[in-house]
Amino acid sequence: MRLQVIGDPVLHSKSPVIHGAMLGALGLDIPYSAHVVRRGELSEYLAWARENGVTGFNATMPHKEDLIPLLDEIDPAAKAVGAVNTVCLRGGKWIGFNTDGAGAVAALKDSLGIDPSGLTVTLLGAGGAAKAVALALSQAEAERVFVCNRTLSRAEELCAHDPLGHLSSAGFDADTLRRVAEQSQLLVNCTNLGMEGCPHQFEDFSFLDALPPDAGIFDLIYHPAETELLSQARRRGLRTLNGLPMLVNQAVLALEHFLDRPLDRRAMAGAATDALLFLES
């Protein structure tokens, strides 16, 4: 049995550290490594993986969507998102899953103490991560999720994938962000604004002033550990969370798929987080 994470680039991935720590905590001697797979090489990789004892792998950019037509089965949650980040070989079949959305909801509950059920949420962005998180928030019975994006048609397209009707599209201009924020108890950033190496930043943060004083701010970015969005939110006394707990929780869920059994998720998350903190120290 071998496990991997594939992508391009991928050698910087923290997945080997996270999964290595969790497997070690379980007393399992299962190797987990990063493997560069370039766009267009997925079919060759799947054949190679089958022949070389790879029974599961995580996928990052640029493969999350490209894998869909190449797999034998797709989990309903992954099918709804249109992307996979976890693939398992079971009974000779490649089966795809997506743990991003569920990992985000678990992070909100465990690390920020926020249950999305019944809440109104402002969600920024309409890309792949935003789609996974928005649909997961809808499944978690959020009352309403405003999907805010500069290109409104992309937000509308995302919302059309929600069978429960909890998602509403909105713009990204300052007035709109303030309007939806004043109705929300949670704001989730799924854009790359503020990410290390990204040249762009929020034009202003006045929308944070419209949120209620006990609102939570969840930024999926974890490099840097505190984005300017989180810094501005913290100065206003709002509760903040970066993307590291989501990264850890989606990995815990992926490992459950790899091992095909439930795990002590808190224990696994603790082992992974400790390993990451040690790596950064």
Catalytic residue numbers read 64
Question: What phi and psi values does residue 89 have, to the nearest 5 degrees?
Answer: -100, 110
Output the six-digit token pair for 169.
């599209």
Both tokens assigned to 66: 């490209």
Beta bridge partners of 89: 94
Q: Which ranges in the chain belong to alpha helices (H)? A: 15-25, 42-51, 76-81, 100-111, 128-139, 152-159, 174-181, 228-235, 244-259, 265-280
Phi, then psi, of 217 in degrees rounded to 5: -120, 120
At 65, is the secondary structure helix, strand, or coil? coil
**Alpha-carbon gap, residue 179 to 174, rounded angstroms:** 9
